[in-house]
Each structure stands twice: as C-alpha cells, then as structure tokens.
Amino acid sequence: MTSHPRDTPQFYLTAPSPCPYLPGFQERKVFTHIVGRRAREINEVLTQGGFRRSQTIAYRPACEQCQACVSVRVLVDEFSPTGGMRRVLRRNDDLVGTEIPNRPSSEQYALFRRYLEARHGEGGMVDMTVLDYALMIEDSHVETHLVEYRRRGPDTAVHGRGQGPLVAVCLIDELSDGLSMVYSFFDPDFADRSIGTYLILDHVRRARERRLPHLYLGYWVRESKKMAYKERFVPQERLLASGWVRAT
C-alpha cells in the first residue's frame, strides 16, 4: 500500500451534482485537504490558483463542459468606490466591525439561521445544525478570523467596539497577498442598506491598511444574477486559462 504524508496534498474529484448557479447544468469539483505543517502555504498556493476553502477542504470547479465559474480578486491599491458605493458607506457609517478569533457563538448561529431562511431558503446550507456551523467557523488549519459588526454606541470611541445586537459576520482568511472572504452573512432587516456591498468595501479598506494587494471574492459567474454584484468591484483580476487577467 502506498502512503502519502499529510503535508503532500492529494486531489480528488466529486461525482456530478446539480449546479447551484446555472439551472440544468451539472457541476463537479476537484478538492484536497488542507492540513499539516504546510497548511497555510498550501492554502495560499491553491487560493492563488482559483481554489476556495471550506473548513479543511480546498476545492475548485472541474466541470467537463463548462468554465463559467471565474475566480476574481479586487486590486486593492487601485480601487476607488463609485458614487453609489460611497452612499452605501455613508448609510452604514453607524456600524463598527471588530476582528475576533474564529470561535462560534450562539448569537452568530441565530443570525446565520435568520439569514439563510430569508436569503437562501432552498439552498444546501439551510439544513446546517449548530454543530455544522461551529465546524464551518473554527475548523481551519490556516490563519483565519471573524469580523463582527454591531452599531456604533456611546462607548465605541473608548473601546473601539460596536454595541447591541449582532448585525453581520464575515469569516476571513489572511494570506500573504490579500484577504479572502470565505463567507459572510447579515441581519436580513438590514438588506435595504446594501450591506453585502458594505462588507466588501470594508474589507477593501482592511486589506489596504494591511498593505495587502488583493481582496479575494470567490467565484463570479457571468450568467448568474446572484453573482453579478462582484463585477462592480473594479479594477479586478479574473483567473482565466492564461492566468490572472485584469478587468476594468
């Protein structure tokens, strides 16, 4: 029997399943485990190669007749918000994001459930239990943290934290060349604030403050309305067969 060290990734291919983005299409994914001493190094290389992380799994589409899923990353130093994006920033100026370790809480899970039921009631994640959620947040061998958003309060200027109920949460991987937005969710009552756009804008700022050149947004699918928002964050680079290509 041939054995492989945990630090050497082995790749596997999933069976076909319905595509979550394009009705009538089938998807397949290639995946590997991100564990061991080289987990962070491997995750960085794979992220730069178009993979996404979910817990200790890195995956990317490997569909036989479709290349619709395109990895995108914002060019942080050159990014400038549009007039509409500046209005979104002003509309959410009363929110404060606090970075914390990637530890789950009952408050997060309650908000996560409300978000799924309002926005993704028929998606595959709607059946996630509190244990599933905890694993999504804390099962990581790479540098990962959460950002919790709450309203600005009277003591925020003193201790830098928001106060009151949780409004939004982002799960973030920190790479040597950027931040990767793994997953985010928010209070559906705040949907009219374009809070999803706000979370991306806030992480562009966080990447810039760290002097990191990229913000990884995951996959963009031209034909999918739910993915259309990602193309508004330009300039960005898209991963094509020839490598990362600038799009403006």
pLDDT tens across 152-211, in order? 877 776 566 778 899 999 999 999 999 999 999 999 999 899 999 999 999 999 999 999
- Lowest-pLDDT choice from 93-102, 157-166, 224-233: 157-166
Domain formed by 81-210, architecture: 3-Layer(aba) Sandwich (3.40)
Q: By C-alpha distance, which of 37, 36, 67 is closest to 50?
A: 67
In whole angstroms, give the CA distance from residue 50 to residue 69: 10
pLDDT tens across 98-109, in order? 999 999 999 999
pLDDT tens across 125-144, in order? 778 899 999 999 999 999 99
> Would you list the domain boundaries of the chain?
12-69, 81-210
Q: What is the pTM of this model?
A: 0.91
What is the arithmetic mean of pLDDT over 75-79? 97
In whole angstroms, give the CA distance from residue 6 to residue 158: 46
What does the pLDDT read at residue 3?
Answer: 47
